Amino acid sequence: MSMPSTDDGCGKRPAVAGIIITTMWPSLIAKAKEGGLDAIQTYVFWNLHEPQPGQYDFTGRNDIVSFIKQVQQQGLYVSLRIGPFIEAEWGYGGLPFWLHDVPGIVFRTNNDPFKIENEYQNIERAFHEEGTLYLNWTAQMAVDQNTGEPWMMCKQDDAPDPVINTCNGMRCDETWNGPNSPNKPSIWTENWTSFFQPYGEDVVMRSAQDLAFHTTMFILKLNGSFVNYYMYHGGTNFGRTPASFMITGYYDQAPLDEYGLTRQPKYGHLKDLHAALRMCSQTLLYGNLTIEDLGEYQDAYVYEGNSGECVAFLVNNGSRESIQVVFRNTSYTLPSKSISILPDCKTVFFNTAMVNAQVNTRSYQPIIRFDSPQKWEVFSEPIPQFDQTSLRSDTLPEQMNSTKDTSDYMWYTMR
């Protein structure tokens, strides 16, 4: 689970906003735990923590240590994506703008002034052999830290040993070839619960049924041991923090929406799935697997322990209609594109296509009306006179190099 609206920071905002967000952390973590999650994954945002060279900020909503400790206090683990390039539909991918002024810098390649990455596979080929050298360097750098923790590369099929390669997407059970070494676990770094929304584009909806089916199939087909929902909690990227073309709302269709409210039936259906998987966890981990053919698109994944424990997953990979199958002399109805979980190899406890959680809707109550004059404030910006300016040029200066990303605006006046 990733939580950008709880610890990603949000640019220049009143201090009280940071207080509000940090006080939300315990309830958001508790909702995640109640939903059946074991771990929370989060980024580290370099451009928030070091907005200017040598000027660090780990206060308020930027207090990553406090956030991690609060996750620990509720009995959950943390998966930390350090970046410092994080992608994340975030301004500059998390890189501080002042890096532009570092002499000789070239971003995201084998270049001494800047190294360390995320989702590098997306652009690795563009740098040819330098891209491969860079990939190997980042892996070795991480391992050389001797942290005792496993390292992974998000969306990187050719991650060098012992760094773990992982998958991103909506259907990694179908699109991913699995670990690139037999001693690596199967990790789904980003199981997209919907998709980010650029300006002017429609909302991408992903059903609770589709999420549950492919999550379970990843566990069965690829021995999946870690599935990270991206995002489990959506959020708001305030100020100028979103990347270009991104709206401020981020993954509002997640199980916990942009405001931290449970979005049903997605939240409840995944909670039921997680409960079913917990009932089967010991046998899943230590049992012996056999796969039985139940039909053209139907299979039974059966895990049996040495003491008689038995767990079965009845899979219908057909997409057109429900079908009757016979498993161990008992008939079962499998809806199209669904998996039934039988914790005792007899009774169906959960089916990925059958949603029991009630659908909810969001209601709004106006607090401030725009037709209330007393609510408006006037912002006055000084308009410079030519004789009062300090930056002079014979040509139009480039904005970002002039403002150093402190503003989206710059006055021009000429004589």
Q: What is the pLDDT of residues 210-257, one digit of tens each?
A: 999 999 999 999 999 999 999 999 999 988 899 989 999 999 999 999
Residue 366 is predicted with a pLDDT of 76
Helices (H), 196-351: 208-222, 266-286
Query: Which amino acid belongs to residue 390?
Result: S
Residue (of 159, 162, 123, 170) closest to 144 by Cα position: 162
d(CA 394, CA 167): 51
3-state secondary structure of 344: coil
Give the model's pLDDT for residue 382: 76
Domain ranges of the chain: 4-263, 281-351
CA–CA separation, 238 vs 8, rounded Å?
Answer: 10
What pLDDT does 375 receive?
A: 66
- Tokens coding 273: 């799935």
Half-sphere exposure of 408 (CA within 13 A, CB side): 8
- Per the residue annotation, which of 87, 89, 124, 190 is the catalytic one? 190
Give the residues of the chain that fall short of pLDDT 50. 1-17
- The separation between CA 190 and the C-alpha centre of its own chain, rounded to angstroms, equals 5
Question: Rounded to whole angstroms, how far apart are CA atoms 16 and 213?
Answer: 42
> Looking up tokens 């009062």, which residue turns up?
388
Gap between the Cα atoms of 291 and 203, Å rounded: 38
H-state helical runs in 74-167: 128-143
Q: Which tokens is 166 given? A: 């992982």
CB atoms within 10 A of CB 410: 13
pLDDT of residue 401: 86
How far apart are the C-alpha atoms of 337 and 335, rounded to whole Å? 6
Q: What is the predicted pLDDT for the residue at 378? A: 78
How many Cα atoms are found within 13 Å in the side-chain-facing hemisphere of 91? 20
Reported as type and span, the H/E element at residue 16 is: helix 15-34
Rg of the Cα trace of the chain? 25
- Other Cβ atoms less than 10 A from the Cβ of 145: the count is 9
| Contact assessment for residue 226 and residue 207, using Cβ atoms and an 8 Å cutoff | no
CATH of domain 4-263: 3.20.20.80
First-last CA distance in the chain: 56
Q: Which of 89, 119, 124, 258 is catalytic?
A: 119
Instruction: Show Cβ contacts of residue 281 under 8 Å, excluding neighbours closer than 6 positions.
Output: none
What is the C-alpha to C-alpha distance for residues 302 and 213, in angstroms, rounded to an integer? 17
The 3 state secondary structure assigned to 65-85 is HHHHHHHHHCCCEEEEECCCC
Active site residue 258: no
Parallel/antiparallel/unpaired status of strands 249-250 and 310-316: unpaired
Whole-model pTM? 0.89
Measured distance CA(159)–CA(153) in Å, rounded: 6
Q: What is the three-state SS of 173-191?
A: HHHCCCCCCCCCCEEEEEE
150 within 8 A of 189, measured Cβ to Cβ: no
190 belongs to the catalytic site = yes
